[in-house]
Structure 1
Amino acid sequence: MHSVRARSQVARSLLSLASVARSAAAPASMHTPKLWTSWRSFPCPTHSPFISRSFTSTSSRWTNEALQKELLDGVTFGSFPTRTHKCGELTKANVGQKVVLSGWAQKIRKLSDELIFLPMRDSSGMIQLVINGSSGASDRIRQQLTEITPESVLCIEGHVIERNAKAVNPKMATGEIEVELSSVVILNKTHKSLPFQPSNSSEVNEEVRLKYRCLDLRGEKLQRNLRNRSLAAWVIRDYLVSQDFVEVETPMLFKSTPEGAREFVVPTRNADAFYALPQSPQQYKQLLMSSGIDRYFQIAKCFRDEDLRADRQPEFTQVDLEVSFGSAKDIQGLVEGLVRSVWKKLKGVELFNGGEFPRMNYQVAMSKYGSDKPDTRFGLEIQRVADLANSNILEAIVLKHDSKPSDSDIKRITRTDAKTFPVVKITDKNFSSWLHKLPMSSRLEGSLNIDEINKSIDLQPGDTLILNDRPVFLSGGQTAMGKVRLELASTMQSKGLLEIPSTQYNFLWVEGFPLFSPEEDPSKPQDRLAATHHPFTAPVAEDLPLLFHSPEKVRGQHYDLVLNGTEIGGGSIRIHSPKLQTYVFEKVLKMTPEESGRFSHLVDALSFGCPPHGGLALGFDRLMAILCETPSIRDVIAFPKSASGRDLVVGSPSALTDRQLSEYKIKVVKS
């Protein structure tokens, strides 16, 4: 019914267009200036690169038949055979069957006048089409094939036949069969030369691929990634609904609040009134807990105006959830079940045999791996060597003699703009004296037994030490030694000295983060503290007395889910006391009345009898990048932004007209 209406509407449009064309060809006295202006503004004849120049005049050649033929050149508009199968679904079980397939033509291979092969691809895979022999029908098909260019869209009819043994292609899922053509319908030929072939997109500059994303998305890799993303989203929804969660959509137009990252602002037609796009649904989901929703989730869009890299986009997706009356352990258990469900469905892997994920304290992670998101798939662990004066320690990475990189690589890795790390090669001669020959030896504290130290760090002659001194108490996300460790691992892996399995999934909960950290924003007073994660995280109950005189020592009820060195999720138990939340805003974070006033809606919700609650957000894009084994989240997003933050497909962000700027009371200041 809909297709009949659509064809009828198009027919009326074409007749109307022809009528306008005839009017344009008539004497000037027969049409009004208004009609002429309307026709001149019509984009097809004078502006489109696809319309023949023969139609750019107002001559009598403007006929209904000629115009229709021109507009539908190389296109089948109307009915065509209904697809019976997808290309990649055919198997030997279909041999002898008549099939109708639709898809994109690949490059034709003509072995002779009578034997022609044409691979065709659709979303399910590839099949080889063949025409062999000479007949009246075959001649017609051959003539059609001469008009087909790669990536033209076809509908074909034919019979599935078995390839002979020598022609079997083991690299194709359908390599044991092919389809012998009996008819071909060209649904839409390629009307422009393609900037690249989807099958060769990996050889093309990424910006070109992003600009012509519709071509790039035809490739097998991105097709598979997007389908896996869809499947993972379905598994997540199914699991959470089975756990009595309610999916609630929260607003995209929010307000500017001081949560940490820079925001995207949205102007309105009211002067001095702006929306902000949400960095996360954090405040709304806490309001939902006060509303009695009890268990909320959402696959939510979030926005942050941050510097971009392989694992960061200005708009991204997170699996957001919040639970009332639950402990950190309860929430972690729910998330572990969710992650297990996804890995089981997409990878066929049972994580930890159904047991709990490992847990690690933040200070341990920073000390041992130099990171709050440690990759535990390989060694190179940072070891404590000795205590130094002024509450510092000496730490080291030991490179074993049989697997260490070259001296030039070690020199490159240990010399940075910020510092040069001492490197010591252990020999028989200095095995019992190396520690006392270090530049910082005068700062060593306590009685030291070098033989015991060598034993504790498993040091042998032939090994190499990379050393560093640092404060005992650590903050932030990564230490200087942590950067060295990752660079060493990358170098050693590239040289075949270290194996890091991509299919090994080392999930890990990191807990015990400091609730507050030193302010890192240079535009703010450096004597102020900042929330390590966000200002709504509850302190550990035992540390509550420290909040009033040593807030920097307070631990937060925060937990990060880490996978192979990547943070894929973070959550916490929230503050549900309105007075405690106000104290954190005003006394600890030293927000101005204007800043803290932006959270008045949240404090009100806590004041109305809000239950204890907590939650977590999983980075869906990062999760999918790991599942799809790709280094960039751009490969699991349909239309991602480029490294410079631009959508190259549509050309955004773009300038506004003077009229639009005036309407929104905006004045652009040229820098």
Structure 2
Amino acid sequence: MSPFPTRTHTCGELRLCNVGERVVLCGWVQKLRTISADLYFLPLRDSYGTTQLVYRSSSDPEKSHLLKDELLKLSPESVICIEGIVVKRPVETINNHSMTGEIEIELDKLYCLNPANKLPFAPHEKNIPNEETRMRYRCIDLRRDSLQSNLRKRSLASWTIKDFLYFLNLGFVEVETPALFKSTPEGAREFIVPTRTKSLFYTLSQSPQQYKQLLMVGGIDKYFQFARCFRDEDLRSDRQPEFTQIDLEMSFASINNIMSLTEGLITKVWKQVIGVDLNDNLSFPRISYEDAMNKYGSDKPDTRYDLEIKDISKFVPGMSESSEHIIECLIIKNGRILTGSEIKFLKTLNHGFEPDFIKITPDNINSWLLESIITRYTSHISQRQEAATNELGVEVGDLMIINKRRRITEGNWTLLGRLRSHVAGILESKGALKIPSSKYNFLWIESFPLFTRDRENNKLVSTHHPFTAPVSGDLKLLLTDPEKVRGQHYDLVVNGVEIGGGSVRIHSPLLQKIILDDILKMSRAKKSEFDHLINALGYGCPPHGGIALGLDRIMSVICNTSSIREVMAFPKVASGADLSVSSPSELSKEKIREYKVDVLEEKDDKDIIDDITIGRSWPTMSLRDVTYTKVEMC
């Protein structure tokens, strides 16, 4: 390998003040532009920018010929090192769209460090290939300016967070917790890691939840780390099997303490990374889970636009606040602009329910209630029609979507909540709704139900995890009406994206046992998997709480990308594979035997998987007759 000189500048650094200097640059060449036999232009790019190189024939014919010959041999994306003199561009050739557009390098020496073979795609062309191709050749895809920018912003955000927690004298200690954990019934599927000891397995940690609670018992007081987490779940545009959490935990902290700290951290990141001032003097708004579900139909609502859902049960005779169900509606102003095919698409999202879609015309402005779902329950509503129209502000041209649902909400969405999100996308595409991408509406969602009814198995499960403390005022309901108990849990949402969640934890071993035994009714075998934690709580555990912020989702919002894959260096595709290195891969039989497991091929008739990504639904896939891998002990 031939020696080459050390670079003196980057390709985004040189300005008019450098004119006359002799410089050394290194980078990737782009397409050579031929002006004449004696004049060539060659853009040279590195991670910091692009500088134009210029070749002009000199008074030394032999030297000029050799340099020209080297230029003509270069293929796009070859790596080179050059020497030359910085010169000012003629006024008529100045490129105002480039940081280095006022200068160019008069080329006199060239070193080809590594010629590039033909690339599967050119990373800087406007028409980039599909995502699968880009993921397969991720090392080339990473050269794109957008990915370079995203990863640099991610790096800056990480340093900003550490600076915030370290240098403001907040008392935080960075502690790394193990990635190799044990199987515990916390919710998501785990990745299993075999050991060379028969019947013993690790699992990859879903989160540092139990370790950080043990750190509080150990007197660390304030802990944080950038934690790698692993969950074997269906992938979407905002999910990956491995992801990064900014994990925080504090002893003797209230919900207000944790929220205030988080708001300061987020404000600092937004200011430092993209120069957006979120206003240090204002706290983020708060809303209860129940109110969020009733007004927006989602526990992570986008509040940059209105489209609030209205409860219209009071216009239905016989329905009261004690009724099991409610009637609600979504009013889309000037909804007549939605086409028949768009409404037909919206109807496919009903998930088994049958909402009514009513376009308000001059003929039905005074009778739309009679055309709605309400008439299935009562016909005595004519006297309330005028009151409903006036109170809701219904006008000709509006589109009414009316639905009946259970009063007590469960899960992440209601039907009208999903429709609200899709309708907003349709209206924005038509120019009828403006959702500013540069606006950041942060919102705390709190007072989630501590338990949720698993209706298939008719049992209670933890809404989040079994270590969340109940709201103190609801403790009296714990054994008598646990479904009404609220948890001290809170999620942070921005523009419809949940970027973090946390809670005040249970620090009493007695209360933790009651929840595991009497509410969740865990078997002795399952409960024993938490013995280490329950024992630790009894050793003098301080009250504590914390939050986990998703770094990948935060960066996706900051970088305004549709997928967290665009802010990760080497993400997995929807199947869970890393196409750039062909993982996961098979192991040799010898390696498998070393870990005392056997691989059996089986047929399994699975349920249909519905893989939904933001903004579109993939076709469902049946796994009937699909062979899958089953691992068993030898």
Does TM, scored on the shorter chain, surpass 0.5? yes
2:19 — aligned with what?
95
Contact 1:397 1:466 in 2 (8 A): yes
- Contact 2:245 2:551 survives alignment (8 Å): yes
Q: Which residue of 2 aligns with 1:300?
A: 227
Matched residues in 2 for 1:422 and 1:126: separation?
Answer: 57
Q: Which residue of 2 aligns with 1:590?
A: 521
Q: Are residues 198 and 570 of structure 1, via their aligned partners in 2, closer, same or farther at CA, if it must alter by over 3 Å?
A: same
Offset at residue 305 of structure 1 (A):
0.2
Alpha-carbon distance in structure 1 between the residues aligned to 2:190 and 2:127: 34
User: Distance between the aligned counterparts of 2:378 and 2:102, measured in 1?
Assistant: 72
Deviation at 1:264, TM superposition (A): 0.2
- The CA deviation string for residues 339-386 of structure 1, in whole angstroms up to 9 with x for no partner, is 000000011111145310000111110011110000001111111112
Q: CA separation in 2, counterparts of 1:105 and 1:667?
A: 51
Take 2:577 and 2:259, find their aligned partners in 1: how far apart are those partners? 36
Instruction: Look up the match of 2:620.
Output: none
CA deviations 1:227-271 (Å, max 9, x no partner) are 111000000011011222110000011001000000001000001
Alpha-carbon contact 1:201-1:216 (below 8 Å) kept:
no
Within 2, Cα distance between the matches of 1:608 and 1:98? 69
Q: Aligned ranges for residues 629-640 of structure 1 at < 5 Å?
A: 629-640=560-571
Aligned positions of 1:187-586 closer than 5 A: 187-190=113-116, 192-200=117-125, 203-241=128-166, 242=168, 243-387=170-314, 389=319, 390-401=323-334, 404-416=337-349, 418-441=352-375, 443=377, 449-519=384-454, 526-586=457-517
Contact 1:415 1:421 in 2 (8 A): no
SS at 1:367 equivalent: helix
Deviations 1:549-570 (A, max 9, x none): 1111100000000000010000
8 Å contact 2:237–2:562 — kept in the other structure? yes
The separation in 1 between residues aligned to 2:251 and 2:217, in whole angstroms, is 9
Aligned partner of 2:184: which letter?
T
- % identical equivalent positions: 52
**Is 1:111 the counterpart of 2:38 in the alignment?**
no
**TM-score, normalised by the number of residues in structure 2:** 0.90
Q: Which residue of 2 aligns with 1:69?
A: none
- Greater fraction helix: 1
- Going from structure 1 to structure 2, the CA distance change for 1:492 and 1:456 (only over 3 Å counts) comes to same
* Distance in 1 of aligned mates of 2:271 and 2:161: 12
Structure 2: which amino acid aligns with 1:124? Y
Instruction: Find the aligned partners of 2:428 and 2:106 in 1 and give their Cα distance.
Output: 49
Partner deviation per Cα, 1:594-627 (whole Å, 9 max, x = no partner): 1111011110110000000000000100100111
- Could you report, residue by residue, the CA deviation over 1:324-353 in whole angstroms, capped at 9, with x for unpaired residues? 001001000000000000000011111145
1:134 aligns with 2:52: no
Distance (whole Å) between structure 1 residues aligned to residue 594 and residue 373 of structure 2: 66
Q: Give the structure with the higher percent strand.
A: 2
Q: CA deviation at 1:571?
A: 0.4
Counterparts of 1:445 and 1:600, CA distance in 2: 59
| SS of residue matched to 2:107 | strand
Q: Deviations over 1:27-67 (max 9, x none)?
A: xxxxxxxxxxxxxxxxxxxxxxxxxxxxxxxxxxxxxxxxx
Instruction: Return the alpha-carbon distance in structure 2 between the equivalents of residues 467 and 93 of structure 1.
Output: 67
What secondary structure, in the 3-state scheme, does the structure 1 residue paired with 2:184 have? coil
Farther off after superposition, 225-234 or 147-156: 147-156
What's the secondary structure of 1:351's corresponding residue?
Answer: coil
Q: Secondary structure at the match of 1:89?
A: coil
Task: Tell whether the 8 Å contact from 2:370 to 2:379 is kept in structure 1 after alignment.
Answer: no
How far 1:146 sits from its partner (Å)?
A: 2.2
| Counterpart contact for 1:405–1:497, Cα < 8 Å | no
2: CA distance, partners of 1:601 / 1:335: 29
Aligned pair in 2 of structure 1 residues 585, 402: CA closer, same or farther (>3 Å)? closer
Name the amino acid aligned to 1:509: W
The separation in 1 between residues aligned to 2:268 and 2:19, in whole angstroms, is: 37
CA contact (8 A) 1:106 1:118 kept: yes
What is the RMSD computed on CA atoms of the aligned residues?
Answer: 1.7
Which amino acid in the other structure matches residue 435 of structure 1? Answer: L
SS in 2 for 1:424: strand
Matched residue type, 1:443: Y
Equivalent residue in structure 2 for 1:656, among 570, 587, 590: 587
Counterpart amino acid of residue 517 in structure 2: E
CA pair 275-381 structure 1, distance change in 2 beyond 3 A: same
Indicate the SS of the match to 1:286: helix
Indicate how the Cα distance of structure 1 residues 474 and 156 shifts in structure 2: closer, same or farther if over 3 A, else same: same
Give the total of aligned pairs.
590
Q: Distance in 2 between matches of 1:381 and 1:439?
A: 19
Query: Of the two, which has the highest radius of gyration?
Result: 1
Match of 2:542, SS? Answer: coil
Match of 1:60 in 2: none
Shifted more, 582-591 versus 611-620: the winner is 582-591
**Which digits, 9 at most, give the CA deviation of each residue in 1:499-536, with x for residues without a partner?**
1111110000001100011227x6xxx11111111110
After TM superposition, list the pairs within 5 Å mapping 1:145-156 onto structure 2.
145-156=71-82
Q: Provide Cα deviations, 1:137-184, integer angstroms capped at 9, x if missing partner.
A: 322211211221111111111111111122112222211111110111
Aligned to 2:44: 120
Instruction: Write the distance in 2 (CA, Å) between the matches of 1:422 and 1:146.
Output: 68
Counterpart code for 1:358: P
> Residue 552 of structure 2 is aligned with which of 621, 624, 628?
621
Q: Aligned partners of 2:570, 2:217: CA distance in 1, in Å?
A: 36
Give the counterpart letter for 2:75 in structure 1: T
User: Is the Cα contact below 8 Å between 1:385 and 1:457 reproduced in 2?
Assistant: no
Change in 2 beyond 3 A, CA 1:82/1:403: farther
Secondary structure of residue in 1 paired with 2:418: helix
SS of match in other structure, 2:272: helix
Residues 502 and 422 (structure 1), Cα distance of their counterparts in 2 relative to 1, 3 Å cut: same
Q: Which runs of 4+ in 1 moved over 6 A?
A: 445-448
2:121 touches 2:128 (CA, 8 Å); kept in 1? Answer: no
- Distance in 2, Cα, partners of 1:244 & 1:634: 34
* Secondary structure class of the residue paired with 1:111: strand
CA distance in 2 between partners of 1:657 and 1:421 (Å)? 55
What letter corresponds to residue 185 of structure 2 in structure 1? P
Question: CA–CA distance in 1 between the matches of 2:189 and 2:570?
Answer: 22
Deviation of 1:404 after TM superposition, in Å, equals 4.1
**From 171, 182, 191, the counterpart of 2:108:** 182
